[in-house]
Amino acid sequence: MRSRLRLLLIAVALASGAFLAWQAAGTLLMIFGGLLLAALLDAATRGLQHLLPLGRGVCFAIVCTLSISVILMGIAWGGYTIVQQWDELHDVLTNQLKNIGDRLADMGVQTPGPRGRRITDEQIASILLPDPAGLFGQARSALGTAGDFLLTLFIGFFVGLNPAAYRRGLESLLPLNRRHFVLDVVDHMAERLRWWLVGQVVTVLVVALSIALVLMALGTPGALVLGLLAGFLNFIPYLGAFIGVVPIAIAASSQGSAMVVWVMAIYLSIQIIEGYVLTPLIQRRTVHIQPAHALGMQMLMGTLFGAVGIALAAPLQAALRVAIMRASAGDADQV
């Protein structure tokens, strides 16, 4: 009787915890985004400490200053160019999408809206970057306001400034008999996330730069915008590469069918090099996730939280996998 009551209480506690997590899922996702930013700042700070004989506080200040400076310089240097290229790319995409719609109509395929009608910016965005809610179901909104974004930045800054203090705070909340095990799991999760983020930042930069340079050499309209878009989408494993090729192919179609073939072949080559050479070299210390598992997690997160959920699906899955693996190993050691 006592064991049944215990199982009932455990089931009620788990159900209550799941319900509370569901209700606060948007906030929890925002906090996780802040922790990812903190992990990235911590990784950069640790790397700088290996290069310079300076304290952590000084290195952290240097990392933050350089990051803000690079972002501001990028906006000042490339902002006008990006705006110009986006205007040019917008016109090209509009014309090409209308041509594609007309060809489909000639083939008897029904397309939304009358033929020859101007395509709006919203329609272009929905074609090039489909809403995850439309892809995977009715999505909830997470990090949908500027205030949430700023809170994420603040969480990342303060946790990255002194992660040891937050680790000690967590340690004080744990029972003595489980303290070492839980902290060991947390340390392994943090290490894997740091390496995963470093690898993603490097691959995003390499993919964005290489695709932008190739498209510039081929004379494709909006090469810089398309390169940046492909690079940022590459942050999303597997799915991002398929989404990123759509605007590139449509823009290249304005130069003829042969150019589309060339661009697709080069894009595929870059993605193969990134996936089979660059990423394995950089992320040897991360947890490998099977493609089907990663895509399933992205679909689930996209359904629940939209675009931000898809972007955070991979690091969240990596962290959960580390926690489960360490917990299983710990239970096996205790048997």
What region, left, alpha or beta, does residue 40 occupy, with left being phi > 0 and alpha being psi -120 to 50 degrees?
alpha
Of 81-90, 161-170, 250-259, 324-333, where does mean pLDDT reach its minimum? 324-333
Categorize the per-residue pLDDT at 280 as very low, low, confident or very high, splitting at 50, 70 and 90.
Answer: low
- The per-residue pLDDT for 171 is 84
Asked if residue 226 lies in contact with residue 241, where contact means CB atoms within 8 angstroms, the answer is no
User: What are the residues whose beta carbons fall under 8 Å from the beta carbon of 308, sequence distance 6 or more?
Assistant: 29, 33, 142, 143
Asked if residue 160 lies in contact with residue 42, where contact means CB atoms within 8 angstroms, the answer is yes
For the record, the structure tokens of 48 come out as: 């700088």
Q: Is the dihedral of CA 207, 208, 212, 213 positive or negative?
A: negative
Q: How far apart are CA 196 and CA 287, in angstroms?
A: 8
Q: Between 235 and 66, where is the model more confident?
A: 66
- Has residue 65 got a pLDDT over 90? yes
Beta strands in 105-155 (DSSP E): none
- The per-residue pLDDT for 108 is 63
Categorize the per-residue pLDDT at 62 as very low, low, confident or very high, splitting at 50, 70 and 90.
Answer: very high
Q: How far apart are CA 167 and CA 163, in angstroms?
A: 6
Categorize the per-residue pLDDT at 250 as very low, low, confident or very high, splitting at 50, 70 and 90.
Answer: confident
Closest CA to 196 of 103, 328, 315: 315
Q: How confident is the model over 106-161, as pLDDT tens digits?
A: 666 555 544 445 555 455 555 554 444 444 443 444 444 566 778 888 888 998 88
Q: Between 198 and 115, where is the model more confident?
A: 198
Q: How far apart are CA 278 and CA 275, in angstroms?
A: 6
Residue 214 is which amino acid?
Answer: V
- Has residue 242 got a pLDDT over 70? yes
- Has residue 204 got a pLDDT over 70? yes
Asked if residue 197 lies in contact with residue 315, where contact means CB atoms within 8 angstroms, the answer is yes
- The per-residue pLDDT for 132 is 44
Q: Between 159 and 292, where is the model more confident?
A: 159
Q: How confident is the model over 301-328, as pLDDT tens digits?
A: 777 777 777 778 888 888 888 878 777 7
- The per-residue pLDDT for 61 is 92
- The per-residue pLDDT for 138 is 39
Mean local confidence (pLDDT), 271-288: 69
- The per-residue pLDDT for 272 is 83
- The per-residue pLDDT for 260 is 84
Categorize the per-residue pLDDT at 224 as very low, low, confident or very high, splitting at 50, 70 and 90.
Answer: confident
Closest CA to 81 of 226, 249, 277: 226
